[in-house]
Structure formats: structure tokens, C-alpha cells
Amino acid sequence: MEDYNKIIESLKVRYIKAKNLVLQQPLTVRNYYDVGNNLILVHNGIVAFGDDKQVAEEGQLLFIPGGRSTKLYYGDTESRVISNDDYITTKDKFFKSNNDLDLIGEADDSHSFVSFEAKVFDSVNFFTSLEVPAFVITSNKLATLVIKIVEESMQELPGKERIISLYTEQMVVELIRYILKNKMFVEQLATNSTYFKDPRLIDLFNYIKENLGGDLSNKVLSNVANVSEDYVGQYFKMLTGINPQDYIEYQRMERAVFLLRTTKKSIREIGKDVGYKDTAYFCRRFKMMFGIPAGKMRRRESSMNV
């Protein structure tokens, strides 16, 4: 239990957004994907996921870890199937955002969601590192916290950002408690609790985070970790299950998404900021990783913010 406490204490939690949505027409997203973690509370109607169409019942929550693609159904498991790309650009045709506190949970085919980050040492995506699939949760505590966050997000009250941040941190802790209580992903948690304590690996995580726009070759990483250039890739993969260059690319792309969402920088500037001198190559890699062009990712955030 002490190891898990250390992981929780090291987590940097960041709220991204929260909404209460009402379905306007059924749809199926065949490859739903988001960088942030998403916790969806089903108020009314059908929300299902996966090829086996597992249903999250009313009052239950569906957790979709960031970086994991899943098939997602809203309203009808035999509905129109669209790609994640189409979903992002036409979301306002399928959902209406509710901004009335009194109507949360009252409309048919409605759900609330909170999108958030949870990073160990502000570097490693905790739930992504567990390599867990989407799963259903039954928890009144988590359901209450999702509603509280949504309610705060809908109001302009003093201390709004602080309250949302506190609730989001509590939500993440409750989510980890739920996983531990139900003995889920035991092997992955045990592995994480071991490698997150290695000081050399922590140094690598921090160095990569602070130098995403610079040289992150294995030669540079070997000097940071004080191991040989030939061994650093094996060392990193042995502890994390992923080779360092794949990890670096994911961190660069995740940073690019953040910059697309929060700045007006051009795609060329963002590519350079995260270490890509060739804009065309950056755009190709971005679309390969997320399934949509960088420009559409930006338009998704600015069009309706659903």
C-alpha cells in the first residue's frame, strides 16, 4: 500500500473540461480516441463500448483511458457508424450541451463527462501506462464528483478553478481506490510501483519533459541516466515496456495537442516547439497517431467545445 501512496502523491492531476450532454441522434464511433482520460456518467439512455457492446447502465460510469482507442455507442448499438475524425468535426450534430443546472440528469439520452490528465511526476500518463482498456464503474462517490465538477464548470463563481481542481484530484484518487479495491490490473500496478521508484528513470522522464523541442537521441539520454548508449534503450524498455523514442514521440504529440488547444500558434510553430523541423513530417505523424489532422484537432476545440 505504501507504494501506491507514493504513486498517488506523485500524481499531477489537470482538469481539461466537463459537460452535460443530451444526445440528438444515435451514433457509433468505431475508433473513439482522446489524449485525455474521460469519465462518463450515464444519466439516461444507452452508452456502450467495445466490439462486444458492453453497456454502461444508468447511474454507472464508463472510464476511457487517454491514448486508448475503443468502439463507442451512444443511444443505439445498431446506429450509424462514423470515424473518430468525423465525430470530432460533426459532434454538434449529435449532441446538445446543457447549461441549466436544474436539468442535469433529467433529459432522456443524456450523460455527463469529465476529461482530465493524471501524470506521475508530471511526466508519465498514469492510466495510459497501465495499458488498461475502457471499463465500467459502479460508484456513487465518483458519480457525485462528476456531477459536482460539471456543476462548477457551468457557473461563474469565485474560486471556480480551485474547486474544480480539488474535485478533479479527489475524483482521480477515488478512481485509483476503486481499481485497488476491485483488484483490477494488479500486475500492471505492481510493475508501475517498482519502476516509478527508480531515480534514473525519473531523471529521464523529467529531462524528456523539459526538452521536448531539443535533441533526445539515445546518446543524450544515456548521459542523463548515466548508462551506456547501447544499453539505454533496453534499460528504458525493461522498466516501462516501451522503447524511449516511442515514448518521446507520444510526449511530443501530447504536448502538440495541448498547444493546439490552448494557443494560437501556427501548426508549423507547434511542430518546431515539440521537436519537428519538418512540418509535413510532423503533420503525417500527428495524423498517424491521433487519426485526424492537426488542424481538425484545433477546430474541434474551437467550434462548439462539446
In CATH terms, the fold of domain 198-297 is Arc Repressor Mutant, subunit A (1.10.10)
Quote the pLDDT of residue 68: 85
To which residue does cell 489532422 refer? 293
> In whole numbers, what is the pLDDT of the chain averaged over residues?
90
Residue 17, C-alpha cell as written in the block: 473540461
Low pLDDT (below 70) residues in the chain: 1-2, 299-306
| Residue 181 identity | K
Quote the pLDDT of residue 303: 45
pLDDT tens per residue, range 295-306 = 887 765 554 445
288 to 2, 85, 173, 281: CA distances (angstroms): 39, 12, 33, 11
Quote the pLDDT of residue 40: 98
Query: Whole-model pTM?
Result: 0.81
Domain ranges of the chain: 1-189, 198-297
208 to 14, 202, 215, 248: CA distances (angstroms): 19, 10, 9, 7
- Angle, in degrees to the nearest 10, between helices 244-262 and 279-290: 100
Quote the pLDDT of residue 296: 80
Rounded Cα distance, 89 and 79, in Å = 18
- Please tell us whether the domain made up of 1-189 is placed in CATH 2.60.120: yes
Quote the pLDDT of residue 240: 76
Q: How many angstroms separate the first and last alpha carbons of the chain?
A: 38
Burial of 190: CB neighbours in 10 Å, binned 0-12, 13-18, 19+? exposed
pLDDT tens per residue, range 41-63 = 999 999 999 999 999 999 999 99
Rounded Cα distance, 306 and 300, in Å = 8
Quote the pLDDT of residue 304: 41
Quote the pLDDT of residue 5: 83
Rounded Cα distance, 199 and 227, in Å = 13
Locate the DSSP E strands across 37-161.
Answer: 37-42, 47-49, 54-56, 61-64, 70-74, 81-82, 95-97, 110-120, 124-125, 135-137
Residue 221, C-alpha cell as written in the block: 539520454
Quote the pLDDT of residue 245: 93
Residues 6+ apart with CB under 8 A from 195: 201, 239, 240
Helix (H, G, I), strand (E, B) or coil at 191: helix
pLDDT tens per residue, range 132-151 = 899 999 999 999 999 999 99
